[in-house]
Structure 1
């Protein structure tokens, strides 16, 4: 499980197709890549007294898609920690936009939530429901921005005003849902420390509906 609070944003080191799948290689986050300030607390994020560590078998949400560290590679010149390698299946490539990754593209990272840690966002599974896309961005005077997104037909039933939604691994609040479109207000910190700051109109995004909403629907339908 995850919280939707991004810990770091890093550039893709390599993305290589392998048969029907692919291998993704990411660098371990540097201090300047970490999205959480030292005062963020001990809920499980990267803090000054708990530096980023990841081992083989660890679950990490990459742009909201839960992947497993398959291998730790020797650090490249100048790096202090090993690179992380992830193997992607055909199912993952089909259901996400990760097949479009290329070296240098920035992606959000979050390690799995620790038992007993503070839940700062909302419960996130890391299982992408659908891919939507950005429609537009309006910058606001405080350095933040309001984004408009569009979702595939059928997903709009999960767009609840002031409800939670995960966009590329970020816990955000739905504003003004109208049909298949909705907005989110993003603060300057989130723009600066996640890959939302690089998002342009037309770009695809991973969407995960609120787990509570999905379970309620499941129970009602049954």
Structure 2
């Protein structure tokens, strides 16, 4: 379980396919200080995807990803040197400052517009699957690359969020541009409400 409050940015050291039996892709990430207290088998949210640490060495962690993860997320587009959002899993008793984020990516979206102003930046995303829009509502929660954000508007397969300078400075969204892909996880509460309304 995660909250969508990113702890920091980390750089991809390497990413390669077919290096290990049973894993589609193996990725090494330079966690630095965020590796403190981490151990093999722990869960880490990387750009919104919950992955398991399979090896640790000198502040770097290895993660193995199966084909389903590569198909459903944008992680396959990462290259060495790219920065990713990092959040370690919650501890019992931690303060919940974002929303309930499972690290189970529902799909991807493309940044189609970026409107920059002095006090805020508005990003518009187009979902690769319009079906996901059923779980998005204005003022509701959404995780974009693992970042807990509030939905501003929803128009068909598109939705927008507004970002303060602090969020842009400490997350990968400050590095993104129009045309870039992001991982989307809709609010788990919205998923259950949507399913109940379909069957009621």
Which category describes the TM-score, using the shorter chain as reference length?
over 0.9
The answer on 1:28 being equivalent to 2:12 is no
Q: TM-score under structure 2 normalisation?
A: 0.93
Q: TM-score under structure 1 normalisation?
A: 0.84
Quick one: distance in 1 between partners of 2:169 and 2:135?
28
Quick one: distance in 1 between partners of 2:96 and 2:108?
25
User: Shift of residue 219 of structure 1?
Assistant: 2.6
The answer on 1:140 being equivalent to 2:117 is yes
Change (3 A) 1:186 1:52: farther
Q: CA RMSD in A?
A: 1.5
User: Shift of residue 181 of structure 1?
Assistant: 1.1
Preserved contact between residue 9 and residue 29 of structure 1 (Cα < 8 Å): no
Preserved contact between residue 134 and residue 204 of structure 1 (Cα < 8 Å): yes
Find the counterpart in structure 1 of residue 40 from structure 2: 56
Preserved contact between residue 123 and residue 162 of structure 2 (Cα < 8 Å): yes
Could you list the per-position Cα deviations for residues 126-183 of structure 1 after superposition, in whole angstroms to 9, with x for gaps in the alignment?
00001111011111112x3111111122111122010000000000000121111111
Unpaired runs of 5+ residues, structure 2, are none
Quick one: distance in 2 between partners of 1:136 and 1:218?
30
Find the counterpart in structure 2 of residue 85 from structure 1: 62
| Misfit runs of 4+, over 6 Å | none
Match of 2:126 among 120, 125, 150: 150
Greater strand share, structure number: 2
Find the counterpart in structure 2 of residue 195 from structure 1: 172
